Chain A
Amino acid sequence: MSLGAMRGVFWIIVAAIGTVLASAPAVAHPHVWVTIRSQLLFSSDGAVVGVRHAWTFDDMFSAFATQGLPQQTKGQFTREELASLAEVNVTSLKEYAYFTFARADGKNALFSDPKDYWLDYRDAMLTLNFTLPLKQPVKAREFALEVYDETYFVAFEMAPKDPVALGTGAPPACRSTVRAPQELTVEQSRRLSELDAATPNIDDKLDDSFANRIIVICP
């Protein structure tokens, strides 16, 4: 093959790859909406030991998720009838690190597998209850908890009322504040629109400024 031909082939390949990358699926719109209520769990000596989540799914997704599940009474599901679904839920959530990220005084704190999980069905909406224990109990002046899906397939929002509570054992001086997602800056909007949901590349993902953030300060 002549040099010119090789150059031609090279550009063809570049063009093809460029086309594919340029039209790589950007981030999807949310298909699931979740309203968050969370409780921070403390040990008797005042260390944070985990978080207890109650996530309520939107009615459309709840209908989808409960499709075909056996039920005694139409329009109702008991905790037992939903047990297998809850199992699937927490199992598949592992892949997404439970969408929950914690930092104690700026240092990442890791969670182990969830326990005490179940689903409730009320007003045609599912609520997933589960406890995420911290691998190591931690005492921190500032404990920050974030809940978000960086691929924006699941949209999380804080419950309008009492989104966060401090469990028994919390030092009396501890105060919690919540921060709703920040308004997207123009730069973030641009990045969101260019986000390649398919590439599991951390650098490619949005930062957490649109996360729901719970901050507990224990002076």
Chain B
Amino acid sequence: MITRSRRIVLLIGVVALASAAVGVAQGQPFGMTRPPVAADGGFTQWLLIKQAEFYRALSGAVRAAKADGSAAWGLMSLSFLYGMFHAAGPGHGKAVISSYLVANNETWRRGVVLSFASALLQAVVAVAIVAVAAVLLGATAATMGRAVRWIEIASYGLIALIGMRLVWVKSGAFVRALRRTASREERNHGALHDGGHRHCSGHSHSGDCSSGHHHHSHHHDGGACDHASAWGHAHGPEPMELAGRGGWRRGLAAIVAVGLRPCSGAIIVLVFALAQGIFLIGVGATLAMGVGTALTVTLIATLAVAARGMAGRLAGARPGIGMIALRGLETAAALALLLFGLLLLVGYLASERLPGVF
């Protein structure tokens, strides 16, 4: 517990420090169209303004890096900050990852890996698209726009599939939890079984293991899942299938689903760097954006895992109804994931458009 909160504090500290550093370094807005926001305009608004400022400053930084190689470091820092603020703004990535973590009752460590891997994949995809389409094939912006559109569809489809699978698994667990409380006879056993499940599926972080020891590394691989038979009357796949070693494969699916769609800003900056003849510096900047994005997503994933952990502890205190609520929460998160995928697919939720030209 202490380690986790310390990590959260550390992360928040990093974010605060970095933004403070930039405030000192930059001093003033970069010719923003928008007047600065009113002091009480709100945190979200501040984020939006900041990311717009950083993005606007990127073109100048790319040109500076072209004129003087040492200015590339300035470009990297700016890209990092842009990534950090941009990830906090619009975008479905964080929401999808958070829902996934809650639905799957993933550990904090996995949340971090997921966040970093998907953010870095996103950067790599942007680099790959521009490298292949623009550098190798000399394709136009419209062609890249079409390529992104296809990647987008694949990504959203994957999100919907993951959501669908989780809804199936979790609603099964939810129904079983309901049945168990419904039967007076089984009620006590049910509570016992629940305890067994929570222990064996390695969710020690959620704190439902009553031992009070929170060794982060001990329960991760879920190797102790011999108790799976406790769910013998199950009809769907076992929830613990999602944790443990095999779970990484599904984790990979989540990483790909979220990380597949490159950020429009990154592509535009990369093409601009290419036009300036400093494509590799642009690649560095894109990776820096990815790291910034990863930090923000990690922070949000941390909150999601912590909230899920708290829910787990609350549920642990009230075996019958608590378990139902917990499974309900997981089912809701899984359903949210499915909805995200579907709504993104049909275009109701739009992610940032990459203008073919507009």
Chain A interface (Cβ within 8 Å of chain B)?
Answer: 2, 4-5, 8, 11-13, 15-17, 19-20, 23-33, 58-61, 63-69, 85, 88-89, 92-93, 95-96, 153-157, 181, 183-186, 189-190, 192-194, 197-199, 210
A192: chain B residues within 8 A (beta carbon)? 45, 48
B268: chain A residues within 8 A (beta carbon)? 31, 60-61, 64
Bound Cα distance A109, B324 (Å)? 59
Structural contact, B59 and A58, CB atoms closer than 8 A: yes
Chain B interface category by residue count: 35 or more
Q: A31 touches which one: B141, B144, B352, B356 (CB < 8 A)? A: B352
A197: chain B residues within 8 A (beta carbon)? 90, 350
Give the interface segment out of B73-81, B132-140, B237-245. B132-140
Give the interface segment out of B21-29, B30-38, B105-113. B30-38
B174: chain A residues within 8 A (beta carbon)? 8, 12
Which of A29, A33, A69 has the most chain B CB atoms closer than 10 A to its own CB?
A: A29
Chain B interface (Cβ within 8 Å of chain A)?
Answer: 33-35, 37-38, 40-42, 44-45, 48, 51-52, 55-56, 58-59, 62-63, 86, 89-92, 94-95, 99, 134, 138-144, 174, 178, 182, 264-265, 267-269, 271-272, 274-276, 324, 328-329, 331-336, 338-340, 343, 347-353, 355-358
Bound Cα distance A153, B358 (Å)? 9
Given known A2-B182, A15-B332, A20-B336, contact A186–B59 (CB-CB < 8 A) = no
Which of A25, A27, A66 has the most chain B CB atoms closer than 10 A to its own CB?
A: A25
A69: chain B residues within 8 A (beta carbon)? 140
Structural contact, B37 and A189, CB atoms closer than 8 A: yes
Structural contact, A12 and B328, CB atoms closer than 8 A: yes
Given known A17-B339, A26-B48, A27-B48, contact A8–B324 (CB-CB < 8 A) = yes
Structural contact, B329 and A15, CB atoms closer than 8 A: yes
A157: chain B residues within 8 A (beta carbon)? 33
B48: chain A residues within 8 A (beta carbon)? 26-27, 29, 192-193
B178: chain A residues within 8 A (beta carbon)? 2, 4-5, 8
Structural contact, B339 and A190, CB atoms closer than 8 A: no
Given known A19-B99, A63-B271, A88-B356, contact A198–B33 (CB-CB < 8 A) = no
Which of B182, B334, B335, B347 has the most chain A CB atoms closer than 10 A to its own CB?
A: B335
Bound Cα distance A198, B91 (Å)? 11
What's the nearest-Cβ distance from chain B to residue A104, in Å?
Answer: 27
Structural contact, B91 and A25, CB atoms closer than 8 A: yes
What's the nearest-Cβ distance from chain A to residue B279, in Å?
Answer: 12
Bound Cα distance A210, B32 (Å)? 14
B328: chain A residues within 8 A (beta carbon)? 8, 11-12, 15
A96: chain B residues within 8 A (beta carbon)? 358
What's the nearest-Cβ distance from chain B to residue A195, in Å?
Answer: 10
Q: Offer 15 A-B interface pairs, CB within 8 angstroms, sorted by A.
A: A5-B178, A12-B174, A19-B95, A23-B92, A29-B89, A60-B58, A63-B271, A63-B272, A66-B275, A67-B141, A67-B274, A89-B358, A156-B33, A184-B35, A193-B45
Structural contact, B336 and A28, CB atoms closer than 8 A: no
Structural contact, A190 and B45, CB atoms closer than 8 A: yes
